[in-house]
Structure 1
């Protein structure tokens, strides 16, 4: 079973994996990333960490950078479109609609990761009222000199009506040294190529000409990493979350098999939005009855259908775009969300001990994870706790019904399939591993313990 459609990434991953001497970029995966850097840290990230998460989210952050028609402020600090910097034409590649939009733009200061990066995954939290949308871009500087183009990492809106372009990633972006694969920037040749010494993020806010609506961007950030190739990661011992299990709703993706083919048809294609919905509801948020009025009343768990629709990437033709899932979660009242990587299972334990569940991305053949009953080239599930012995308690949406969603997976097996950068499929072909990629969703108001563990992962 494959819980995220293979599509073009599988072909790319296979080609890179078989290239002589080439390492497979984690971005060129069906649903996955690369692997971790060791034990979890008690404080802020070290200067030699191989994973660097950096956000702009407070008022002083937004007052910095370069403003072109944007304004920083608000009770929840963010940037808005204060005065259009100009107009821009955009033709929606999915509908053919041509329109002119007013825009304003904010560009971050240059950020240098803790080590030069081979991959970058951005994420953002924003509000886009009717008739407004965002473009998120990245431009990096290589270690050997020279800059990347301005790469588009997403054309995003919370809505999907005729008043806005379709939510989409942008294909076929590259300069011969680096490329963008749906939601991830990656260096093309990890052996010979340069790394990314620094980067800037840019967000462009759009609205219809003459209007007064404005998007608001509350958080913009990225995870940059340069992780080693390895089929196996060091084993860890149970930590502070042993015996802790959080109360997280259980939803099965498989009960939606065949529903809404325009949003990739439910079932194995909906692991990401199903996992997202579980965690959103853990924090007490959910769609309103009005939000769900479009869903067939005969369908169970209509909120999962809703999550699939509003995370759908019209270029990828699926619901598994990582930043789009995080952005969807952050549309709920006072919710925040990031996409990042964790170094080890110890980091996950510290999150659970502080009361923060996580959504993890992994790939494996059936024999590698006892009790799963399937193999996958890419699958999202939620980690909700640990047994007293330190095994992983996961709400796995790849289950036949909601009551059977809770699983206990062996600690050693689970940490390896999540954190490794290389793996072999059932035919023995070498492919990329998952590398500790996860979504973290949490409310704006957090406890002291939650703030501490998030800060230790670079999330402010």
Structure 2
């Protein structure tokens, strides 16, 4: 979901109000000022492949979040096919079989019109276990040069009427064929698309989205024989109650994961065409940390375009490949997940967790999480800044239950590891309402996070993901 704050606005500037935006959460493309607290060195206590056990999570609120992802061969055989076919490989996928036809597409960001062959897959209708106020789609795909995909969603209201087909993204891993983009101006008077999220306009009215279908359109250059390959597609549906505070949770066992540390401030002023430069790159910087935690990184050939004078060129690469040309920033949540999944055998989704206990369950299984939050400077001790929207990577918990985070809004890579007070951190992450710097009511993310994990996880990792509703 997006903030109405443009990417070039300083983090302490409150997001502007907009009609129908009361339930909007915050897209973290806003700038984050450098943290002033020094970070201590992290002990090397765990690795992605370290043996681990996964204890059962404590009770968490039920009925807030529903995840449905299509990823198996059986999933891809279901639904309506027009030129697509499933493939039963070790990582089942959907590809173009025989194109359903040809279409012209005019790229709104270049003005160029090109002809494409296309094929479509429409999912079965999924009835959510949560009558939802918000829906966020995410996908994992490979798009060789000369191919791209479009993801659309059609929701059903409780009264049986339906939304239009909303475009949730026109996406390619690269940026030479189309410009990767969200689509503004979509709504039907009861729900609206805010960059990457379908949101009910007035949750207090009782309007809810109770079901949805997804439509996936695969494109390729005519006659090329190429195909996108889609491994995973789905939606997180949620109805998080309005809340300025959340109940305190009891700390679980301590654990810290060894995750690479990158500061977005290393890249201040670099490649301003991607959302204003490194000072706005909290999301791709966090994504790159977790991608490398799982042992993946871009090749030297993929990084050849980056100025060799720039440090950590892989962060520049992540910014370029998560950039949303409509939003004009790198904080589109599904685009970050899709970028992570371009690396070999990585799954990636956007979801919501319901509690800090669920996050501890993932950490115990060796799975870090990239979390989205917004806060005033005085609300998070040691951060040294306030922000209208910011991503950081949670890598562990101390003996006292405090949160250990790799915070990219730090002055250097060495300062990225931070320890934040548990009670402060869980409240700013899980709340849906807050007061901004002007004293006005603004929105919070309600527990949004990105999860990246191997396509073939360990049994402990699988149990942990299932415990938080991700399969």
Residue 24 in 1 paired to residue 39 in 2?
no
Contact in 1 for aligned 2:15/2:388 (Cα 8 Å): no
Secondary structure of the structure 2 residue equivalent to 1:293? coil
Using structure 2 for the length normalisation, give the TM-score.
Answer: 0.90
Change (3 A) 1:180 1:104: same
Match of 2:406 in 1: 395
Residue 281 of structure 1 and its aligned partner are, at CA, apart by: 0.2
CA spacing shift, 1:456–1:12, aligned 2, 3 Å: same
Partners of 1:190 and 1:41 in 2: CA distance: 36
Structure-2 separation of matches of 1:344 and 1:408:
18
Q: 1:145: how far off? A: 2.3
Give the corresponding residue for 2:178.
Answer: 165
Matches within 5 A, 1:24-423: 24-27=22-25, 29-31=26-28, 42=56, 49-75=63-89, 76-161=91-176, 164-192=177-205, 194-240=207-253, 242=254, 244-423=255-434
Bigger Cα displacement from structure 2, 58-67 vs 449-458: 449-458
Partners of 1:53 and 1:457 within 8 A in 2: no
Counterpart residue number, 2:6: 7
Taking the aligned partners of 2:439 and 2:453, their CA distance within structure 1 comes to 39
CA deviations on 1:11-49 (whole Å, 9 max, x unpaired) are 996435xx7xx882134x3439xxxxxxx9948x99951
Contact 2:5 2:16 (C-alpha < 8 Å) held by counterparts: no
CA–CA distance in 1 between the matches of 2:14 and 2:175? 29
1:429 aligned residue: 440
How many angstroms apart in 1 are the aligned matches of 2:385 and 2:14?
A: 23
Compute the RMSD of aligned alpha carbons.
Answer: 2.3
Q: Shift of the alpha carbon at 1:74?
A: 3.6
Q: For the Cα contact (< 8 Å) 1:4–1:379, is it kept in 2?
A: no
CA contact (8 A) 2:55 2:361 kept: no
**Cα contact 2:149–2:216 (8 A) shared by 1:** yes
CA contact (8 A) 2:350 2:450 kept: yes
Change (3 A) 1:405 1:9: closer
**1: CA distance, partners of 2:310 / 2:381:** 31
Cα shift at 1:182: 0.3
Residues 40-85 of structure 1: per-residue CA shift (max 9 Å, x gap): 9948x99951111110001101011111110001411010000111
SS state at 1:152 partner: strand
- The aligned residue for residue 45 of structure 2 is none
The 1:328–1:295 alpha-carbon spacing in structure 2 relative to 1, beyond 3 Å, is same
8 Å CA contact 2:14–2:437 kept in 1: the answer is: no
Deviation at 1:268, TM superposition (A): 2.7
- Separation in 1, partners of 2:17, 2:398: 40
| Distance in 2 of aligned mates of 1:8 and 1:65 | 38
Aligned partners of 1:421 and 1:404: how far apart in 2? 29
- Asked if 2 retains the 8 angstrom alpha-carbon contact of 1:9 and 1:30, the reply is no
Shift of 1:9: 12
Q: Contact (CA 8 Å) 1:5, 1:269: kept in 2 or not?
A: no
Runs of 5+ consecutive residues of structure 2 not aligned to the other structure? 30-53
Q: How many residues align?
A: 442
| Separation of aligned partners in 2, 1:202 and 1:267 | 34
Quick one: distance in 2 between partners of 1:236 and 1:420? 14
- Give the drift of 1:437: 0.3
Matched position secondary structure for 2:231: strand
The superposition leaves residues 166-193 of structure 1 with CA deviations (integer Å, 9 ceiling, x where unpaired) of 0000010011111100000001111125
Deviations 1:349-376 (A, max 9, x none): 0000000000000000000000000000
